[in-house]
Amino acid sequence: MSTLIIVTHPNMGDSIVHKKWVEELKKYPEKYTVRDLYNEYPDGNIDVAREQTLIEEHDDLVLQFPIYWFNCPPLLKKWLDEVLLYGWAYGSKGDKLKNRKIALGVSAGIKQEDYSQNGTYKYTLEEILAPFEITAHYCKADYRSFFALYNTESGISAEDLEKSTRDYMSFIDQM
């Protein structure tokens, strides 16, 4: 089983969480292929055929990103729009994602309790990420939910960072 991890962080140099997660994933190249979209496509021009081939060469797909204005970073949205094409990802002949396991790995700067109906933002992270689940279902993929680390804007202890890394790796392995 091989997993393609699409990492989309617009400021990876300043990231603590995503940098650590990527560092850990890269220790296992036989299991994971890590693609940093902002590094691969600094001009934003996505090689659609290359990305589709990479997806086809892997069993599972994980989209890893920070929550960015209660959504994904713009380059990931562009990647989704350009790579998941009619006739390839969906439609009467689009079956390249069919039954493929897809999951999300996200960091959220805000506290978990703020992502609730009674919290500051009135929506759960599950509700905010629903478009990804719906997209996966539309493409007949097997959506496996998301792994989230909350409250990253307030800083994270070394222990919590290590625990989140172990938990994230376990989440991916159990997809």
Which of 48, 115, 106, 32 minimizes the C-alpha distance to 73? 106
Q: Quick one: pLDDT at residue 154?
A: 82
User: Distances from the Cα of 36 to the Cαs of 59, 91, 92, 127, in angstroms?
Assistant: 19, 28, 31, 26
The series of mean pLDDT values per 10 residues for the chain, 175 residues long, is 95 95 98 98 98 98 98 98 98 97 97 93 96 98 98 90 98 97
Which pTM value belongs to this model? 0.97
Measured in whole angstroms, the distance separating CA 97 from the mean position of its chain's CA atoms is 15
Q: Quick one: pLDDT at residue 155?
A: 84
Amino acid type, 69: W
Q: Quick one: pLDDT at residue 150?
A: 95
Give Cβ neighbours of residue 157 (< 8 Å, ≥ 6 apart): none
Domains in the chain, please, with CATH? 3-173 (3.40.50.360)
For the purposes of burial, counting CB atoms within 10 Å of the CB of 36, is it exposed (0-12), middle (13-18) or buried (19 or more)? middle
